[in-house]
Amino acid sequence: MKLATYRDGSRDGQLLVVSRDLTQAHYASHIANRMQQVLDDWNYLSPQLQDLSDALNAGRARHAFTFDPRQCMAPLPRAYQWVNGNGYPSHGEVLARAAGVPIDPGNDQEPQLTQGSGANVWGAMDPITGARDTMGLDFCAGLAIVTGDLPMGCAADSALDGVRLIMLCNAAHLYVGPLILQRPGTAFSPVAVTPDELGEAWSRGRLHGQLQVTWNGRKVGLCDAGANMHFHFGRLLSALAQTRPVPAGSIVGAGPVSNKAVERKGRAEWPQGYSCIVEKRAMEILQDGQPSTDFLHHGDTVRIEMKGAGGASIFGAIEQEVVRSNS
């Protein structure tokens, strides 16, 4: 099934069930008002939501209405925690090579996790605000999952049983040189999807499909999200649970989707493009000795989407514009 959260003036919004083709929606208020309620009591509430989803997709839901992603908050507007991992170590290796830093030999042995704020969460069409043009503002397109409760010390395979929902994300970064100055916020796709809805595309903690990234109307990334994902979501969750239990309503990302370079005519090339500007700039340093691609500026737009085998959007699109802060 597919779930979303509509704005209703509150901090947590109103829970919706969304049709498979993203055209229709139905309020789930007779089952649960908020996404966190469902995550807290998944075994009891999710079957009821599944029944509503089946009725909606069959055209039998009595109070269905047209789904509008512009009205969406993030599927989980406030999370107990937001943690981003390095599911694609090749991303870090490219940055290290460009900076002339020795590559950590353990980079692909154990996951690395960065704790973020679960409160600074944006809807899919909320603007990216507050950045100055003197800063290096970057998009970071990737995948994220929402968890159920996981016990401390759970193994990677059993951790996958705790994956409740899958989303797209855009984790904005601000750079000064190679240093990350701030992470101003993260946007998530309008719709979150249960693993069973993805069919064979979801396999062993990886989602296989092309992540499409468009910058100012030009496609810059068509990276395969499953091909080079070294640490699948089970590994990332297991690493998170090493020292503490993971509460239902935690969001875990896998970092920017990154595909490895290939050798062409003696040069390393990235034919699938890129999911963040800093990786593109690192590619340019390795190839040409200096970067030529600038970071985001006010008025720029970023669109992130993944489509299924039939060409239909799975999660809806993240579409954000960079705007000046009013302050």
Q: What is the mean pLDDT of residues 165-187?
A: 83
pLDDT surpassing 90 at residue 74: yes
Q: What is the mean pLDDT of residues 193-204?
A: 96
Contact 166, 143 (CB under 8 A): yes
DSSP 232-279: -HHHHHHHHTTSS-B-TTEEEEEEE-----EEETTEEE-TTB-SBHHH
Q: What is the mean pLDDT of residues 179-193?
A: 86
Locate the domains of the chain by residue range: 2-71, 84-323
d(CA 19, CA 3): 9
Query: Per-residue pLDDT tens for 303-326?
Result: 999 999 889 999 999 999 999 776
pTM confidence score: 0.94
> In CATH, what number does 84-323 get?
3.90.850.10
Q: Which amino acid is at 280?
A: K
Closest CA to 29 of 8, 11, 1, 43: 8
Q: State how far Cα 293 lies from the chain centre.
A: 23
Q: What does the pLDDT read at residue 261?
A: 76
Q: State how far Cα 178 lies from the chain centre.
A: 23
